[in-house]
Amino acid sequence: MADVGDVLMSVLSTIRVPKPGDRVHKDECALSFSSPESEGGLYMCMNSFLGFGSQYVDRHHARTGQRAYLHITRTRKAKKEDDNNSGSGHPPKKKPTRLAIGIEGGFDVDQEQYEEDIKVVILPDRQEVTSEDLATMPDVVRERVSLSMAGIMAADSVSHALQVQQWDGEVRQESKHAADLKQLDNGLKIPPSGWRCEVCDLQENLWMNLTDGKVLCGRRYFDGSGGNNHALLHYQETGYPLAVKLGTITPDGADVYSYDEDDMVLDSKLPEHLSHFGIDMMTMEKTERTMTELEIAVNQRVGEWEVIQESGTTLKPLFGPGLTGMRNLGNSCYLNSVMQVLFTVPDFQSKYVSYFDKIVDEAPSDPTQDFKTQVAKLGYGLLSGEYSKPAPDPGDENGASEPRGDQIGIAPRMFKALVGRGHPEFSTNRQQDAQEFLLHFINMVERNCRSGANPSEAFRFLVEEKIVCQQSQKAKYTQRVDYIVQLPVPMDHATNTEELQEAERRREEGDSSAPTVRAQIPFSACMAALSEPEILTDFWSSAVQAKTTATKTTRFASFPDHLVIQIKKFTFGLDWVPKKLDVSIDVPDTLDLSALRATGQQPGEELLPEVAPPPLMTPDVEVKGILGSHGNDEDDSLYSPLLSPVLDDSTVSQLCEMGFPLEACRKAVYYTGNTGIDAAMNWTMSHMDDPDFSAPLVLPGSSTGPGTTPTESLSEEHLATIVSMGFSRDQATKALRATSNVLDRAVDWIFSHLDDLESMDVSEGGRSAAESEGGRDPPPGPRVRDGPGKYELFAFISHMGTSTMCGHYVCHIKKDQQWVIFNDQKVCASEKPPKDLGYLYFYRRVSE
């Protein structure tokens, strides 16, 4: 032991005690998915507090010279028999009774029990020092090492700190209407049972208004079930705010909803309010599930095999390389599904997995914060097969009710924390839109691939938009970069209209047995809706110098190697409430888009003059020129957009109240000429998918404006990133100045202004492009691949739920001509892939 003590004494200066703010990675290896539960355990560097699996700790020692590591191993405790065990082997064992996480009665996020063993290991010989050994060592050694060990074990790991450990979805506030609620003396008395909706005779999901005692049905759900909205309509007609759900009233309380506050609330005077209509709370019994119970049931179903469209069939679990499951970290199924598909694409495999060892060798001192290292770690984890092994048997052998497909899999905690850092949505544990995450990740890849291969090029393509002025018949051509084709869903083309109408009629009549009928939409109708000309009613034509009607046609200027198609299932209802279209679309296995190839300007076709529309001004506003980079005292050709446009503030405010970004609202009002809320709303809805939708309003001909930034303050790093994508420095400068030096917005802006950039004669610094680039021709713009427009389907992502902000995602991927379903940790051979119910479809080019 003397030798070990001497070694510890010699490395004592490298052993630290964690301080507040130190990042302690004691749950996951920085370079692999090894953990304390893995074979060999986890080695914690006692200086940097980074964790390493047994296969990487020697590498870290060789690179850094660090010798002291805390070795943590955990072994699963044997579980006691539980009467409430479902037989599935999955938590929660105890049925939740509260819509909460980490609270008694709620969902238990950490039911596994482990025995933990820790000791200090000295490299390179891996000499071990236990707590008992420390007791025999000098005080200075014992004290420092013991404090470090205790500090590491007591510290919250980074992954633990990033998770929501306690959340209570049942905390309700007292309604502001409860204390002084006015109740009508109309003599109405409500019986204790036998209720019906007074409008449609529905006998379930009934709510009694606490002001007038009206018994009416609740809201209609996205799938047509639930009620017929009569209670909501009654509130909209009367303004009576509170309603209680009949069937939930017990001596302990009831479900009370405030339409005015748009939330479930508490009513401290509920006994008094019920008694007004002859209801005695103390004698009532619960006959319907409360809203909390309904939500708990949904949350329990979300992670279960039965909700997947292939329920009812016994699916064969699959294991091996490329068949690795991913643990759900709490609403992370959107991330799991997208990354499973991306690492099926050869470009991502070759960039991050083929050179995995090289990437690890070149990783910075803190690999947890390096994008390339963490993406490579995830890709290797998915494709190597090292983690594609059956999950340990929890000991429940009472007959599982669901197919056994669970794996050890990988938990992408570091990856999720890194790609979500700083993002208002992806940094949270809330459910997200898989399409938005896909674009967010592609954007990160673009920024991090300044040199070498860029796998995002596999999806990048050019779109040509042709606008024809119907009065002059002159045309304008623009090009923009895109990564996803958004396919509209023309509901009026449903092939089962009669069935839909019959089902709707039966629901309106209160027939609770009415079947849920899904609209059948031909894929050809979706493609026709995409390719047919769009009518623009407020197009400002430079040929006639006035607003007129025009047609806009969209075509492919290039075809990518891999094509992503999004079915636009999520839309807004007449009340501007988001809803999901419940449709079935016969998406084909093969696709030929050759007919949608752009043709460019046709012989004899005249182009619209390049003249900017006039600025919006009121007659009494004098427009003064401002001195810009091209201006002088006598030059009034440039005007200040801060002075010239007079926007209708009330219209802008109305749009903002609907949840749209301020800059988008300003642009909507500007481009519709202050003609009112309807025109501005139509503009907003038709431009929501524009890359620069929320970018600042930059007026034609202006050299500065809201959101512009002087050249001297631009980030050289941001400039280098955009230049590496194939643009000139002047073009990058213009994009950054137009977007307040925000890189993400600048990339979106530059891709949506390709025509303007390619025609730049004078750079922002006053020099010609040729001068600024040393006489060379400016780069042609972003690099795109091109080839035949023939494709085959190889993957699709499906969504279950009422909106992208809730529900569950799974993906199906074609592996060696066999469809495989990836449902978080479950990976199985697919028997009936639901190709008609997908949300995102992934095609690859078919070689001629």
Domains of the chain are 4-77+112-167 (3.30.40.10), 206-300 (3.30.40.10), 649-687 (1.10.8.10), 716-759 (1.10.8.10)
CA distance 18 to 28: 17
| Amino acid residing at 795 | A
d(CA 177, CA 240): 10
Q: Which two tokens stand for residue 169?
A: 């979805």
The CB density around residue 300, as the number of other CB atoms within 10 Å, is 14
| Binding-site residues from annotation | 197, 200, 207, 217, 219-222, 230, 257, 259, 262
Q: What angle do CA 311, 313, 319 make, to 5 degrees?
A: 95
Question: Does the CA dihedral 704-705-710-715 come out positive or negative?
Answer: negative
Q: What's the pTM value of the predicted model, to 2 decimals?
A: 0.67
Report yes or no: 571 and 581 within 8 Å, Cβ to Cβ. yes
In this prediction, residue 104 carries a pLDDT of 53
Task: Output the known binding site for substrate.
Answer: 207, 219-222, 257, 259, 262
Averaged confidence pLDDT in the chain: 79
Give pLDDT tens digits for 140-190. 999 999 999 999 998 877 765 555 433 444 567 899 999 999 999 999 999
pLDDT at site 295: 52
Using an 8 Å Cβ cutoff, are 68 and 15 in contact?
Answer: yes
The position carrying tokens 């530059």 is 750
Find out whether the peptide bond into 124 is cis, omega within 30 degrees of 0.
yes
pLDDT at 126: 92
State the pLDDT at residue 307.
36
Helices (H), 65-134: 131-134
- Beta pairing class for 826-829 and 818-823: antiparallel
**Please, which residues bridge with residue 216 across strands?**
207
Q: What is the pLDDT of residue 30?
A: 96
Question: Quick check: 503 and 512 in contact, CB under 8 A?
Answer: no
Which one, of 515, 484, 520, lies nearest residue 502 by Cα? 515
Binding-site residues for Zn(2+), in ranges, read 197, 200, 217, 230
* DSSP-derived pairing of the beta strands 519-521 and 583-585: parallel
Per-residue pLDDT of 690-730, as tens digits, reads 767 877 776 544 443 333 333 445 777 788 777 777 677 88
Q: What is the pLDDT of residue 444?
A: 92
**Sign of CA pseudo-dihedral 477, 478, 482, 484:** negative
Residues with active-site annotation: 333, 808
Closest listed residue to residue 129, CA positions, set 115, 26, 137: 137
Please list the residues that pair with 119 across neighbouring strands: 71
pLDDT at 755: 55
Residue type, 703: S
> What's the pLDDT score for residue 68?
95
CA proximity to 264, closest of 287, 289, 290, 288: 290
Query: For residue 771, what are the contacts with CB-CB under 8 A and spacing of at least 6?
Result: none
Strand residue runs (E) in 387-447: none
Report CA 65 to chain centroid distance, whole Å: 41
Q: Give the three-class secondary structure for 106.
A: coil
Number of other CB atoms surrounding residue 51 within 10 Å: 31
Strands 590-592 and 256-258: unpaired
188, two tokens: 């109405």
Specify the long-range contacts of residues 512-517, CB closer than 8 Å, at least 24 apart: 512/202, 512/203, 512/204, 514/224, 516/223, 516/224, 516/225, 516/582, 517/224
Tokens of 461: 């393509």
Percent helix, percent strand, percent coil in the chain, to nearest 5: 30, 20, 50
CB of 598 closer than 8 Å to CB of 464: yes
At 699 the pLDDT is 57
Per-residue confidence (pLDDT) for residue 727, from 0 to 100: 77
d(CA 375, CA 383): 12
Q: Tell me the three state secondary structure of residue 120.
A: strand
CA Rg, the chain, in Å?
Answer: 31
C-beta of residue 407 within 8 angstroms of C-beta of residue 70: no
pLDDT score at 298: 46
Find out whether 157 and 24 touch, Cβ atoms under 8 Å: yes
Neighbours of 512 (CB within 10 A): 11
Residues (pLDDT < 70) of the chain are: 1-2, 78-113, 159-171, 221-226, 286-313, 393-405, 572-579, 612-646, 691, 698-713, 726, 740, 751-782, 802-805, 848
Q: Distance from CA of residue 816 to its chain's centroid?
A: 29
